[in-house]
Amino acid sequence: MLPVVVVHGGAGHIPKERSEKSTEGVCSAVRAGYVVLKRGGSSMDAVVEAVTHLENNPAFNAGCGSVLNVKGEVEMDAIVMEGKTLGSGAVSAVRNIANPIQLTRLVMDKTSHACLTAEGASQFARSMGVPEVPMESLITEYARMRWRKNLVPDANPVECQMGKMGTVGAVAVDSEGNVACATSTGGMLNKMEGRVGDTPCIGSGGYADNQSGAVSTTGHGEAIMKVTLARLILFHMEQGQSAEAASDLGLAYMKSRVSALGGVVTVDPQGQWAARFSSHQMSWAAAQKDTLHYGLYVGEHFTQGIDEPLLQGI
């Protein structure tokens, strides 16, 4: 199989002035994940590294840069899953954590549970020595501005859609053929306090199984949960569809059945990969065989060599 890591920075409508940052962000995150794979790290190490980069980048709706709930606060959801054991870890409605994705890995590795929520997740984070950060450090001016705009009852619907993009994620295959996924989000803009989306729900925000592949999803959480999008795509792969065809089938079903758009990154255990979306845009990037692939609009697929300095010393 061919080791690969694929990331997305959220499906949706990315304003022109933010599209460059979004593309740069996914390319930088995928490089970070790829270096982990090249150094012999596992697919789980690679997806956590890539998503940590995306959470630390204020251009994305995850970690710093998360959208705000109706009270103007940050509540984040995240999941990881590994295909060898079907082990998973998730957190929902967590606050004051810079990298929820790292906390999900601790849930997977250090507890017998699949998901911890809200204050219980915070207590667990404290017990693991994960530092708490002030909520303000996760809030960008852009997120605050959009929150204010959306509080206005007659907010312009087009403006409300602009920049409405959710969720970051990654999938990977390592040199042993193990697959993994990781997904992290601030959720939906102006959501109710305590709202939990698809991201931490196994089979919706992500799924990984060495017998079929791994998927990370992005889009409207309530719709993704209705069709358990990640698991649906892997079902199609179990029926013999390629990563690309299965992704398109899953997204088409979500569109026809619940009128919702979204996006996914998908791998199979042999290293075939896909970045597919039914939304206007999705920033995505993949790294395989020392080549970087990336795009933003439907049909866009740029490639370039991964720079030597990055790979030196590996």
Q: Which amino acid does the sequence have at 225?
A: M
Tell me: does residue 9 bind ligand GLY (CB under 6 A): no
Q: Which of 23, 52, 104, 167 is catalytic?
A: 167
E runs forming strands in the chain:
4-12, 76-82, 88-94, 115-117, 165-166, 168-173, 179-185, 206-209, 213-219, 262-267, 273-277, 281-288, 291-297, 302-305
Kindly state whether residue 197 participates in binding ligand GLY, applying the rule CB under 6 A: yes
How many residues bind ligand GLY (CB under 6 A)? The answer is 12
With CB under 6 A as the contact rule, the residue among 32, 94, 116, 188 that binds ligand GLY is 188
Residue 187 binds ligand GLY (CB under 6 A): yes
Q: Of 173 and 189, which has the nearer Cβ to ligand GLY? A: 189
- Residue 295 and residue 6 in contact, taking contact as beta carbons nearer than 8 Å: no
Q: Is 166 in the site for ligand GLY (CB under 6 A)?
A: yes
Greatest CA separation for the chain: 56
293 a known binding residue? no
Residue positions counted in the chain: 314
Shortest Å distance, C-beta 195 to ligand GLY:
8
Based on the shown chain and the rule CB under 6 A, indicate whether residue 206 belongs to the binding site for ligand GLY.
Answer: no
- Strands ordered across the beta sheet of 213-219: 206-209, 213-219, 262-267, 273-277
Distance from C-alpha of 122 to C-alpha of 100, rounded to nearest angstrom: 10
Q: Applying CB under 6 A, which of residues 22, 69, 184, 199 lies at the interface with ligand GLY?
A: 199
Active site residue 167: yes
* Smallest distance, ligand GLY to C-beta of residue 105, A: 20
In whole angstroms, how close is the CB of 217 to ligand GLY at the nearest point?
7
∠ CA 274-303-232 to the nearest 5 degrees?
Answer: 5
Question: Under the criterion CB under 6 A, does residue 278 sit at the interface with ligand GLY?
Answer: no
Hey, which residues are catalytic here?
A: 167
Binding site as annotated, residues: 195-198, 218-221
Query: Residues interacting with ligand GLY, by CB under 6 A?
Result: 166-167, 185, 187-188, 197-199, 218-221
